[in-house]
Amino acid sequence: MRTEPTARDALDDARREILAARDAAEHGDQERRSQYARSAIDSAATTLLDPSASQPEVVAARFFLHEGLALDGRPNSCGADSIHTDEELKALSDDQQAWLRDYLRTQRERQPVRASYDISCGR
């Protein structure tokens, strides 16, 4: 019996897919890069739509959605310009910001792919 992923499961999937999309981009595989980026977008959206997602998980999902849209490489990605993660980050408590930075750290250990969007986390 299959169950729906939790917000955290979907968030973890988005992080893995972003890393896979970056790896594909580094190896010049544009098709796989787009496929992984779209999968990351789907997983991030799953977290965003989950009413049980915590506020830091929602902000993390927006970071992954933002990077997924950048990695996908399709022009005029709908909504990409309305994602303001730095503002959302500032609205979190100090403990929530620390959790988010720790959670995103593993995603950032590798050099980001050149993207048309800024994927920074207040640094």
Return d(Cα 35, Cα 88) in angstroms, integer. Answer: 28
Residue 121: pLDDT band with limits 50, 70, 90: very low
Q: Which amino acid is at 92?
A: L
Q: Crossing angle of helices 55-72/94-108, nearest 10°?
A: 30
Using one digit for the tens of pLDDT, what is the confidence trace for 10-51?
A: 999 999 999 999 999 999 999 999 999 999 999 999 999 999
pTM (2 d.p.)? 0.76
Using one digit for the tens of pLDDT, what is the confidence trace for 60-70?
A: 999 999 889 88
Residue 104: pLDDT band with limits 50, 70, 90: confident
| pLDDT at residue 75, as a whole number | 63
Instruction: Report whether 68 contacts 44 (CB < 8 A).
Output: yes
Whether the pLDDT of residue 7 is over 70: the answer is yes
Whether the pLDDT of residue 95 is over 80: the answer is yes
Q: Residues of 48-61 as b/e, b for ≥16 C-beta within 10 angstroms?
A: bebeebbebbbbbb
